[in-house]
Amino acid sequence: MKSTPGSVLLLVAQLLVYDLVLLALLPLAAVWLAWRAAVRRKPIGDIRHRLGLVPRLPAGRSPHIWVHAVSAGEMGAARPVIAELRRRFPRAGIAVSTHTDTGMALARAGCKEADVSFYLPFDWPDTMALALWRLRPDLILVVEKELWPNMLGLGRLLGTRVLAVNGRVSDRMVRRARWLPGFVRWLYRLTDRLCVQSEGDAERLRTLGLGGRLRAVVAGNTKADTLAARDREVEERVARDIGALDSHLWLVAGSTHPGEEEQIVEAFRKIREQEPRARLLLAPRHIERVAQVSAMLAQRGLHVVRRSEGGDDGSEAVVVLDTMGELRAAYALGTAGFVGGTLVAIGGHNLFEPTAVGVASLFGPHTENCSDTADLLLAGGVGFSVTGPDDVVREFMRLARDDALRSDLARRAGELMARQRGASIRCVDVATELLTAGDPK
């Protein structure tokens, strides 16, 4: 339906209130940005982009689509969506934005279908208006919970459609929304449509009072589409290079953070007391931590070999993965695969990765960033929650001692992944509907 003068004036007033609050908080924001750059060594990105001077899309392209994903994990979820958008709209101009350097690296290396990539401008009215003027998007597509009021609100005022995909509405977010329920409902209503990951997300939207106003589509998790096909050749190469034998029982811990590696090592020591065939592979989330993790293992009296160094058949060394793009192949070795960011308060990473290669997924209690995936894996009997080293030992040994259980788990994992595939197509179906519809709401 067409926007009415009353709805336009209301949105303008709402954005004005939001921007006045931003203005009041500007000194604090400046201090935070300076601290982030000086203390945490996190660069701000290209300042021209942050001020709205984003690259223009090539002339003659139509429609114009702006895809935003906050960082590497969300950019990974966006990749199959961008590929499907390019297939569906070969003449489209596609712009991709992100907040972080890791997100930018993945956008440039892995999103070849995009025409331009840039750092998201500050969500100030002038910088965002300049970016929108330069891009002239027909559709803004945001991944997960990147709902920036000026970006979406000003876009709506300019006639741009807004779609959120891979939407997650956690129980914690619902609890937090009780403090500012009107603001949360307003944020979600800045979208035209919302593709959520599960029926649970849709139900929580209804809990927030958005069921009737916001048309939510249960589309699934687009990350599953990035994991659809196994590369057996890479799996065999990794196994050969590190000297993995059929008799080995591997605990593969991927995307780990400080505080988790130590717990995994403690669990592995206890596992080795019960099962001499057990082996350990550690893959730190950030590759620059490989030396630190290797030193920690050596200090604990463990022989360490890096993946790039190879290994000998029968070696009992702990393998540290120091290469890019081989984590899934490493998980394929596993009797069990632990997914990091879950035993420490990070929020978790892609829990699908072990599942996609037919391996049990172990994860800690901190799954705030992937709660629905965790629920899905638990309900399917292919994921198991652990709270510390003793739980890791218990679950690993249960799997190691039961060949039939591992075979059944691999079968169920394959069936679960088959049901999840196609989320990107379902999301782009909604995008197509918006782009071919009439005037925005």
List residues bridging with 143 in a β-sheet: 165
- Give the pLDDT score at 262: 97
- Give the pLDDT score at 438: 57
Query: Distance (Å, rounded) from C-alpha 174 to C-alpha 94?
Result: 33
Cα–Cα nearest to 175, from 368, 341, 17: 368
pLDDT in tens, 166-189: 887 767 777 777 788 888 889 899
Contacts of 136 (CB under 8 A, 6+ apart): 57, 64
**Could you tell me the residue ranges of all domains in the chain?**
45-226+422-436, 232-420
Question: 164, 194 in Cβ contact below 8 A?
Answer: yes
Class of domain 45-226+422-436: alpha beta
- Give the pLDDT score at 282: 97
Question: 117, 107 in Cβ contact below 8 A?
Answer: yes
Task: Locate 374 and state its tokens.
Answer: 């965790």
pLDDT under 50 in the chain at which residues? 1, 313, 440-441
Query: Distance (Å, rounded) from C-alpha 390 to C-alpha 267?
Result: 6
299 CB burial (10 A radius; 0-12, 13-18, 19+): exposed
Contacts of 295 (CB under 8 A, 6+ apart): none
Query: Distance (Å, rounded) from C-alpha 115 to C-alpha 102?
Result: 19
Query: Distance (Å, rounded) from C-alpha 225 to C-alpha 421?
Result: 5
Instruction: Determine the topology of domain 232-420 in CATH.
Output: Rossmann fold (3.40.50)
Q: What is the number of residues in the chain?
A: 441
Question: Would 45-226+422-436 and 232-420 be classified into the same CATH topology?
Answer: yes
**What is the phi/psi pair of residue 347, to 5°?**
115, -5
Query: Distance (Å, rounded) from C-alpha 304 to C-alpha 319?
Result: 6
Q: What is the DSSP letter of 308?
A: G
What residue type is assigned to position 325 of the chain?
A: G
- Give the pLDDT score at 202: 85
- Give the pLDDT score at 40: 64
Contacts of 335 (CB under 8 A, 6+ apart): 249, 250, 251, 359, 360, 396, 399, 400, 406
- Give the pLDDT score at 211: 63
End-to-end CA distance of the chain: 5
- Give the pLDDT score at 180: 81
Task: Locate 247 and state its tokens.
Answer: 């008799």
pTM of the model: 0.76
